[in-house]
Structure 1
């Protein structure tokens, strides 16, 4: 008769239970991050179509307003908004940028926005990478501990009995499986999200370059 998860946890000792709970917690955090990032990236990729129509708007303000509607994750819109604000001589005159070359001001403003967006896009990826890298080793710790219990049970008995070994060995195998079940989705999601990020970064760089060329010609 197969045992339930509750029964399995109850038969573990303190260290084994801590390892199992840690793997379950890592799995929950990993899947929450995967689902939240997947939803965010889906909305980002859906809004990229607005970039193709951005330069067809009659005015820059109309283009920014149109982009803001489609860019629900607010990834591309800040570049256009900050570039538009920095191109206004009256705005620059009220700050230390008054005596700075307009092209340099635009470069700094767009670079700051690119950095801010990059931080947002990469948030959570380090967590996934860490879980994917450490979960197998956490499971391995539980595996080693289960094997240790099996060897201890064998050494303390005058005759080798399968029931003395089956429990600890089964515990070790379950820990190995848990570690892999936690690590594999995290690694696959990390690689997929990195791929999406590279595409998004390329589009952001191109968009920032076009904005820089447009606004510096107006100054």
Structure 2
């Protein structure tokens, strides 16, 4: 199958469909590579940050050790320790002043977790959209190509198998291109979504332990 014939004999709509498929494929693989790198770095950073926190003699030492580590755990630790200090020093001049320390820390930790996990949502909408729409865009290109192929055949008056199979075969490539783009996007979305949930569960477990440590911290 010579794809160059599609661009040589295809009209503006069919060529646009193939160019859109190429763009979607580039976006898909770019998101996959970037998100996998980020997830791997987050997992390694979380492991190092947990080890630093568990090996620290005090919260101040733990906060200092995780400053040089870029990970959700280090960010959560820094924000939680800062919230604890602000509460003890009376620096929270908001409605949080009326909350007990337990509820105040829970609110601050949950807010920090939500903000931290948002950075892992980048590209997920694009993958979901590409996985859902690419097959239909490819099917549209196939239908459009078959329609124009049949129009050209009827105008030329050639009804042989060779005259029909060639143009229709080239048009069917659009459907294959749509599937070629959609399948990696769907698989990547499921994999990244599962990985995000794993990080979120690990972060939630660590937040629970950190919350207990903060409550039992001696001033």
1:26 to 18, 24, 31: 24
- Native 8 Å contact 2:105 2:211 kept in 1: yes
The 3 A distance-change label for structure 1 pair 172 and 211 is same
How far apart, in 1, do the equivalents of 2:92 and 2:141 lie?
63
1:48 equivalenced with 2:65 (yes/no): no
* Deviation for aligned residue 1:186: 0.9
The 3 A distance-change label for structure 1 pair 133 and 150 is same
- 1:199 matched to which residue of 2? 198
Give the TM-score of the pair, scaled to structure 1: 0.88
- 2:84 matched to which residue of 1? 87
* Deviation for aligned residue 1:157: 4.0
1:101 equivalenced with 2:100 (yes/no): yes
* Deviation for aligned residue 1:78: 1.8
Q: How many residues align?
A: 215
**Unaligned stretches of 5+ in structure 1?**
none
How far apart, in 1, do the equivalents of 2:157 and 2:9 lie?
23
* Deviation for aligned residue 1:27: 0.8
Runs of 4+ in 1 over 6 A off after TM superposition: none
- Native 8 Å contact 1:83 1:109 kept in 2: yes
* SS of alignment partner, residue 216 of structure 2: helix
* Deviation for aligned residue 1:32: 0.9
**Unaligned stretches of 5+ in structure 2?**
none
- 1:37 matched to which residue of 2? 35
- Native 8 Å contact 1:27 1:182 kept in 2: yes
* SS of alignment partner, residue 200 of structure 1: helix
Answer with 95-104 or 117-126: which moved more: 95-104
